[in-house]
């Protein structure tokens, strides 16, 4: 029998979280939709692992085991990426605590911090992903997003983890863009990983999901309690769909990265494309840290077409690029972030590469740029 620790990404994705093989049973059991379960009349809830569906579900446990294997820690899944982030923040922070958040990260997290955290007495500091970071003395939690969404800056997780640990602070890393195959923050010294499973992790654009992973029993217990009390759980079918989708993660990411690399090479030569960013490009300011820290580059890139009308003409002319606000799916999508109130320029585009044929995609984007003017 092969050593499990030697398995590569493709094998790990296919087998992660699967139960022991039982003749006549499927590889991945179907979703368990029950809310209440039969209880042992003598032992009560202690007599079986399942008592009530909000606090536990066997389909959810299998998915948590799978993501935990890939991230290198224990995992709790929640109903969305935003639910995972807010659950983490609310379960860890108390009035009087200080939290450091990315100034250039996901705008909904910044909005939650200013509208909710500050309102309950949490001191909020916003710092760009690449820093400079302030003295972390007295800080309870440092939360970073790397690569950042949507600007794709990268922070040195190992160095920041050392600073946080020396100051007695926790470090949480949003791993949505990289996925656990692109980056393993817990191995780099982070205390917590949070991510949206809606995007590249599951990749089929057919569910909402989030998760928190950690090696800290205490912190994960706090997150679990928050999830149970607020009911921020994914449905059994979403959990099953997500686990099903993990098997192709390695294959999907490989094609998405290949497509991103090819598009970046083409876009670099376009005179009316500015602000091109992709951490896998040697000319990118994030490249030195990204190549040292990341195991593979994401299929997401960004650039600027100058104004909103040109972005609309570009997407309208493209045959293989759809306008959509999520990313990481099978289909290539483009999102003009300013339309959501994000503080980006009117022509800024976050482009998420799908798994289309590379030559077809490059040809289509090239023609669409030409048609856009």
Domains and CATH numbers, the chain: 4-246 (3.40.640.10), 249-371 (3.90.1150.10)
- Candidate list 60, 184, 199, 337, residue with the active-site label: 199
- Candidate list 97, 153, 156, 174, residue with the active-site label: 174
264 touches 218 (CB < 8 A): no
- Stretch 77-83: mean pLDDT, rounded? 98
The Cα 212–Cα 353 span in angstroms is 25
> In the annotation, is 277 catalytic?
no
Phi/psi for 82 (5° steps) reads: -65, -40
- Candidate list 7, 15, 52, 54, residue with the active-site label: 54
Of all residues in the chain, what percent carry a pLDDT higher than 90? Answer: 94
Predicted confidence band at 5 (pLDDT cuts at 50, 70, 90)? low
Give the chain's mean pLDDT: 96
Predicted confidence band at 3 (pLDDT cuts at 50, 70, 90)? very low
- Candidate list 12, 74, 76, 106, residue with the active-site label: 106
| pTM given for the model | 0.95
Amino acid 343: pLDDT: 85
> In the annotation, is 54 catalytic?
yes
Secondary structure, 3-state, 351-373: EECCCCCHHHHHHHHHHHHHHCC
- Stretch 63-74: mean pLDDT, rounded? 98
> In the annotation, is 342 catalytic?
no
The residues near 176 (Cβ < 8 Å, ≥ 6 apart) are: 81, 145, 149, 195, 196, 199, 200, 201, 328
């Amino acid at each position: 029998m092969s050593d499990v620790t030697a398995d590569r990404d493709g094998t790990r994705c296919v087998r992660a979280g699967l139960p022991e093989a039982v003749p006549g049973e499927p590889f991945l059991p179907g979703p368990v939709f029950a809310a209440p379960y039969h209880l042992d009349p003598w032992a009560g809830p202690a007599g079986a692992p399942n008592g009530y569906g909000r606090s536990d579900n066997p389909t959810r446990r299998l998915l948590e085991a799978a993501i935990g294997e890939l991230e290198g820690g224990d995992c709790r899944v929640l109903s969305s990426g935003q639910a995972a982030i807010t659950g983490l923040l609310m379960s860890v922070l108390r009035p009087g605590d200080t939290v450091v958040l990315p100034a250039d990260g996901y705008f909904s997290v910044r909005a939650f911090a200013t509208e909710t955290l500050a309102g309950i007495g949490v001191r909020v500091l916003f710092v760009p992903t690449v820093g400079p970071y302030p003295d972390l003395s007295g800080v309870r939690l440092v939360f970073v997003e790397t690569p950042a969404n949507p600007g794709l800056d990268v922070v040195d997780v190992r160095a920041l983890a050392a600073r946080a640990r020396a100051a007695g602070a926790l470090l949480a890393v949003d791993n949505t863009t990289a996925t656990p195959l692109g980056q393993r923050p817990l191995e780099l010294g982070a205390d917590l990983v949070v991510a949206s499973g809606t995007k590249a992790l599951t990749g089929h654009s057919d569910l909402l999901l989030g998760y928190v992973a950690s090696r800290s029993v205490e912190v994960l217990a706090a997150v679990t309690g928050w999830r149970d009390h607020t009911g921020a759980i994914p449905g059994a079918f979403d959990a099953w769909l997500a686990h099903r989708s993990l098997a192709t993660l390695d294959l999907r990411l490989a094609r998405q990265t290949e497509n991103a690399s090819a598009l970046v090479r083409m876009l670099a030569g376009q005179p009316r494309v500015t602000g091109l960013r992709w951490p896998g490009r040697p000319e990118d300011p994030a490249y030195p840290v990204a190549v040292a820290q990341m195991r593979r580059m994401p299929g997401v890139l960004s650039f600027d077409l100058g104004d909103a009308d040109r972005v609309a003409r570009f997407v309208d002319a493209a045959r293989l690029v759809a306008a959509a606000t999520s990313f990481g799916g099978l289909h290539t999508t483009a999102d003009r972030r300013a339309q959501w109130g994000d503080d980006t320029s009117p022509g800024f585009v976050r482009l998420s590469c799908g798994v289309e044929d590379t030559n077809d995609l490059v040809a289509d984007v090239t023609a669409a740029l030409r048609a856009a003017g």
